Structures are given as structure tokens and as C-alpha cells.
Structure 1
Amino acid sequence: MLGLYTHSEHFELVHHRVLTQAAVMFKEALSCFLYLSGLLQQAIDPCIYPELLPVKTVDRQQYLGKWYFKAAVSHTEADIQQFRALDNSWFTMEETANDTLQLTGHMRIGDACIKQTWTYHLQPERDDLELEGRPQRRNLLWSGKWANCPDCIVFQEVEPPLNETGTVDSLHRHMLYARHSDVKDELVTAFLKNAVCHNMQASVRPPQEKEFCA
């Protein structure tokens, strides 16, 4: 009985070691598989996707105040053509009433300063902002992830096709805004590169060669 017991004990020990080694090998194989899967996913879809900031749930207070316009991108040149005349611009976002935001822009075009105001409303059934006078336009807020910039936001404007049979949006552009006028160039470059990855080849950056308007 002693010999049989010893042999059984030895068998259990060997069996345990085999299972342990198998578990280690499985974990290593799984880790390798996940790593390769990640590389494959990046190769198939290397684009970075921004994080949507639903206006119904996001803390709006942290997005009030001053913002500097840094770049605009789109699938078509026509959607961003109006920004090419700008030397620089900055904006203030204020909450003027419950579920109402007012955006005031100070834009430098040549030697002239232009001031313009837009009013946005928050609707309970929408996750975007409704621009007063243009209810068909979607106005979405995204995090600064596209630019690797925590102090930035991306503002997207989308309008549907001009007719029911159309398949292309009549307006579709993204604008990058930063809390500071002197945001690092590499952050804006990252935004532009990620936009290209999403087939938005048209882009514009204000030169900021003149003083900002008061």
C-alpha cells in the first residue's frame, strides 16, 4: 500500500505541474493573441475615433468661457471655404437661460473685426445642440481626443442632403477649439491627420498673424 500511495502521490504532483504549465502557456498564448489582434485592428482601422459629449448629460459648465478657433476639416473644400478669410478668431460660450447657450465670436478678417452671435437650445430628445433658425442642422460636441488635447473640443456641424434623393450631406465639417491661443502645433497636426484618416482631406488653419479682436 505504501508503494501504491507514493506512486499515486507522484502522479498527482506531475499532473498538477502539467496543468500549471499548461495554464501559463495558455495565458502567454492569449496575451500574444490579444496583442496581435490589436495590431491587426490598427492595420485594418488605424483611425482614432473621438468621444461624443452628449449635451443632455455632460457637465456644460466646464465648456463655458473662452475658446480659440484652431482648425477646420471637411470632406469638401466648400464646407470650410469661409474660414480661409480668417486670420484669427476666438469665442465665448455662455449659458443665458435654462437649456440655452449663446456663442459669441470675435473674428479678425484683414484689418476688420467682426462680431457675431449664435444661440443654441438644448432639447430633451436630442443629444446635440439646436441652432436657432436652423433646426435641421446637427451641432455635436466631441472631446479633444482627436488632437490628443484635453483642453480642446471638436465642434461638428452636419446638415442633411438638399433633397430627399440626395446621399451626401449638404454640410459636414469639424472645427477644433482650444482653451489657449498658443496651443502646440503637434496637437493641431494630430487633429488634421486623424481627420485625413476619416477621409476629410480639406482643411484650414488660421495663421494668427495679427492681434486678436477685443
Structure 2
Amino acid sequence: MLEELWKWFLYLVLFFRQCTYDDKMAAGSLNKTQYSGKWYFLMVAADPNTSLLKFRAMDSAIFLLTPVMDTQTLLLKGEFRLSHSMKCMSRQWTYHISNETQELNLEGQPYLKTEIFVRKSNECIMFLETQDEGLETFRRLMLYGRSPTMTKYSLQEFEHRANCMNLTTIFVLKQVQAHCEI
């Protein structure tokens, strides 16, 4: 009974919460050491729905964020467990940090802007990827956590933020199988 009341209370808080968030971080002020390490990819919200196709093929994903010493560069290595074959697949990205822009710049993707949102606990981080030009245009918000699980409140807060951003489709990774090793 108490748990049910708590759920309704959280729902009402989020329902009446306005669409204002103050957790956007300028890429140039990112503490590379603080956010380096292992991150679990938990969920994604996007518009249009077609920009989620590659995510729907995943059962789970784990990332390792590593700063490159003496540069404004971050390496992001990902290991993905595919839903159908249960095999692991690797990918790697290089992000450049500019003090002149608010976003991270992904090497080889000149039209892609990546904004960073950090929750106060530093246990979750969100990337908003926007691409307004090129072969594919999309907006997607991705949630990463230091743990492979999230609280019901974190899930509801992410859904609220996605709705505020008019991101109409939300996909939560199933995480049925064990994560790949990274």
C-alpha cells in the first residue's frame, strides 16, 4: 500500500513538473576524469522512430569512456550484446571537446551535435544527439548509468524529459543476457 502511494506521489510530482532542467553541461567544462570509466546504456528516446532501429537490435550495451591525456579528446568504446544472436559487437568513437561550443564533436560526423546533461548524483549522464543535416536527420536522448539498473523515479524522469523534448518513442534495453566484457 505504501509503495503504491509512493508511486502515485512520484507520478504527480513529474506530471506537474515543468519542462525546465538545469543540468546541461558545456562540453568545455566537462571534468574528463570524473566521467571516465564504465557506463551502462539504459534507454533511448528519439524522433523519428526510424532512428531507433539500430538500438532495437541490442539486448545490452556497456561503454568505457577514456580521456586522452594532454588533449581535449575522449575515446568511447562500446560492447553491445545483440538480441537475436546474443553475440557481442564492438565499436569505438572519438569525441573532441571544444571550449568554443556547448557540444561534443564526434570525429567523422560533422553534422552531429552531442549535448551533455548530468544529474547531480553523477550516477547518470544523458547525451542528446541532434543531426539536422546530412543523409539522416534525427534527435535522440540517451541515458547512461554507472549501474545496469535504474530506479523507477529515474525512468519516469527520463520519460518526462523525453516528452518535454517531443521525443515520441522510448526504447529501454532489455538486458536479459549478461553484459559483454569491456
TM-score (norm 1): 0.70
Query: Would you tell me which structure has more helix in proportion to its own residues?
Result: 1
Contact 1:70/1:188 (8 A) holds in 2: no
Aligned to 1:139: 114
- Deviations 1:43-102, CA, capped at 9 Å, x for gaps: 998224252111212322111111101110123201222111110001010012411110
| Residues paired across the two proteins, number | 165
For structure 2, the 5+ residue unaligned runs are 1-13
Q: Tell me the residue number matched to 1:58.
A: 30
Give yes or no for the alignment of 1:193 onto 2:160: yes
Alpha-carbon distance between aligned partners in 1 of 2:110 and 2:133, rounded to the nearest angstrom: 14
2:72 matches 1:99: yes
- Asked if 1:130 corresponds to 2:105, the answer is yes
For residues 95-174 of structure 1, what are the structure 2 equivalents within 5 Å? 95-97=67-69, 98-110=71-83, 111-144=86-119, 150-162=122-134, 170-174=137-141
Aligned-partner residue type, residue 149 of structure 2: D
The answer to whether the Cα contact below 8 Å between 2:115 and 2:128 also exists between their aligned partners in 1 is yes
Cα distance change of structure 1 residues 88 and 43 upon mapping to structure 2, 3 Å threshold: closer
List, as ranges, runs of 4+ consecutive aligned residues in structure 1 with deviation greater than 6 Å. 42-45
Distance 1:201 1:180, change over 3 A: same
Tell me whether 1:180 sits opposite 2:147 in the alignment: yes
From 70, 75, 81, the counterpart of 2:42: 70
Structure number with greater CO (CA < 8 Å, separation at least 6) is 2
- Local SS of the residue matching 2:28: coil
In structure 2, the CA distance between the partners of 1:124 and 1:210, relative to structure 1 (3 Å rule), is same
The higher radius of gyration belongs to: 1
Distance in structure 2 (CA, Å) of the matches to 1:65 and 1:141: 16
Q: Please give the secondary structure, in 2, of the residue aligned with 1:56.
A: helix
Q: Which structure carries more strand by proportion?
A: 2
Contact 1:122 1:128 in 2 (8 A): yes
Q: Note the C-alpha offset of 1:162.
A: 4.3
TM-score by length of 2: 0.81
Residues 103 and 187 (structure 1), Cα distance of their counterparts in 2 relative to 1, 3 Å cut:
same
CA spacing shift, 1:43–1:83, aligned 2, 3 Å: closer
Secondary structure, counterpart of 1:101 in structure 2: strand
Cα-Cα RMSD: 2.4
Query: Does the aligned pair in 2 maintain the 1:141–1:156 contact within 8 Å?
Result: yes
- Kept in 2, the 8 Å contact 1:50–1:144? The answer is no
1:178 Cα deviation from its structure 2 partner: 0.5
Relative to 1, partners in 2 of residues 1:106 and 1:201: Cα closer, same or farther, differing over 3 Å?
same
Q: Cα gap change, 1:100/1:49 in structure 2, threshold over 3 Å: closer, same or farther? A: same
